[in-house]
Amino acid sequence: MTAIDQYLATNAQRFEDDLCELLRIASISADPAYRDQMHRAADWVARRLGSLGLSVEKVETSGHPIVFAESPRQPGKPTALVYGHYDVQPVVPLDLWVSPPFEPTRRDGNLYARGATDDKGQVLTHVFGAEAWLKAEGKLPVNLKFVIEGEEEVGSSGLEQFLADHADRLACDCVVISDGSQFGPGRPAITYGLRGIACFELLLTGAAHDLHSGTFGGSVTNPLNTLARMLAALVDDRGRICVPGFYDDVVPLSRREREQLAALPFDEKNYFAQVGVTGAVGEEGYTTLERRWARPTCDLNGIWGGYQGTGAKTVLPAQAGAKFSFRLVPDQRPENVGKALEAMLRRMCPPGITMKLVSQHGSPAVLVPLDSPYVQAAARAVEHAFGRAPVFTREGGSIPIVLAFHERLNADALLIGWGQDDDNTHSPNEKFSLADFHRGIRASANLWEELSRIPAKR
């Protein structure tokens, strides 16, 4: 990789200057006042990709445009699809910014600007990683597609539609996403799993209207008492979820995964201190990180009913309700959870109560096998660039677009974030480490070579 190394060294300053150029465009997707800036940013990205010899299309959507680019097709080589976004979060409160959000400023080895790490700086690492190959070697070792959208911060509805309509154009062997953080400073990470989710709302109705709890209490079923009983029955004393069959489809954590999670430099005491508690209960037999990333949960998200004001009101409420959600792991299906849940709650529903269970959104978990050749390729690419092997992490939350890629394209997703947890994503003084920016470019250039050694699927 001497020619590549040489190219990266020679162009390091220019990469930063290019990033600053993009960061000066105030592409705030949430605010219609910035509509022109959205087009300016999309055009900038399109021009940059076009200048590398990729075919580029600015795809109009119901919202902001998607930039879609493809490298000249090389048969027999695997295809990687790079996903990222050129839109940024709003910048209020402005007075908390040390330097203006759209005037990129270097301080202490970081570049400060809105979008520096989320996601302009990170997505450009892959553009520059591709550029190095094209300029220094004349061609890419793999086929590359870029999908860079302008609605990540506002729900990605245009991209979801594009995926639904044009999955064939996006066909690939793996999806590469750099839009997150490392495990810590100098600790690069590959996130190989995301939990799924199943959300529900439960509504219970008793009497036709609120009753006096003295006159009627004891003789009329109280929907709030019933609600507490039903919700408490969802989880047992050992933190196990009691919906019948809930664990039937759960893929157990492998010994290797548990060893890897246990080996992470995770400071539990510090973790609890950060959220303001001194300890926690959870599913018996699992560590905090396992509970957080790799085990299913049942969390009540909201509850209401009766009198919520000051003092006492001796009312027997007519209605009560709650919202709750399950985080799912492979291979649980939200629809199966919903069916078993409804049957369980219906069996518990006593005389005098009418029950309504609303199934809200749900999506299954995503898990890229640790022994996937793409994950292994990414690990080597990252280790070579960062000088340290990445740790393998999972995320407790869901990222809908990752699931959409997974389900629409049937391609493993490589979540390799170059940021840090303290990058102030979505907050004032967003930053990106310039060292990580350059390591990211290097890792990207490495990644294309590593992926080229894997036989193409199609």
Q: Which is nearer to its own copies, 207 or 456 (CB)?
A: 207
**276 contributes a contact to its own copies by CB under 8 A:** yes
**53 contributes a contact to its own copies by CB under 8 A:** no
**323 contributes a contact to its own copies by CB under 8 A:** yes
**285 contributes a contact to its own copies by CB under 8 A:** no
Angle at the Cα of 75 (from 70 to 80), degrees rounded to 5?
45
| Active-site residue identified among 70, 149, 152, 450 | 152
**397 contributes a contact to its own copies by CB under 8 A:** yes
Q: Which amino acid is at 171?
A: A
Which element (helix H / strand E) includes 320? Answer: strand 319-328
Respond yes or no: is residue 290 known to be catalytic.
no
Respond yes or no: is residue 108 known to be catalytic.
no
Rounded Cα–Cα distance for residues 52 and 147 (Å): 15
Are 204 and 355 spatial neighbours (Cβ–Cβ below 8 Å)?
yes
**225 contributes a contact to its own copies by CB under 8 A:** yes
**265 contributes a contact to its own copies by CB under 8 A:** no
**433 contributes a contact to its own copies by CB under 8 A:** no
**264 contributes a contact to its own copies by CB under 8 A:** no
Rounded Cα–Cα distance for residues 80 and 158 (Å): 21
User: Least distance from C-beta 163 to its own copies, angstroms?
Assistant: 22
User: Least distance from C-beta 198 to its own copies, angstroms?
Assistant: 10
| Active-site residue identified among 87, 153, 257, 423 | 87
Which residue in the block uniquely carries the two structure tokens 């079923």? 221
User: Least distance from C-beta 15 to its own copies, angstroms?
Assistant: 31
Q: What are phi and psi of 326, to 5 degrees?
A: -105, 135
**27 contributes a contact to its own copies by CB under 8 A:** no
Structure tokens at 2: 């001497």
Rounded Cα–Cα distance for residues 296 and 398 (Å): 12
Rounded Cα–Cα distance for residues 199 and 196 (Å): 10
**427 contributes a contact to its own copies by CB under 8 A:** no
Query: Which residue in the set 2, 13, 62, 278 belongs to the binding site for its own copies (CB under 8 A)?
Result: 278
Q: How many residues at the interface with its own copies, by CB under 8 A?
A: 79
Rounded Cα–Cα distance for residues 137 and 12 (Å): 17
Query: Which residue in the set 93, 277, 455, 458 belongs to the binding site for its own copies (CB under 8 A)?
Result: 277
Q: Which is nearer to its own copies, 325 or 452 (CB)?
A: 325
First to last CA, the chain: 27
The window from 52-60, 242-250, 315-323, 408-416 that contacts its own copies (CB under 8 A) reads 315-323
Which residues, other chains included, contact 453 with Cβ-Cβ below 8 Å and sequence gap of 6+?
Answer: 377
Active site residues: 87, 152
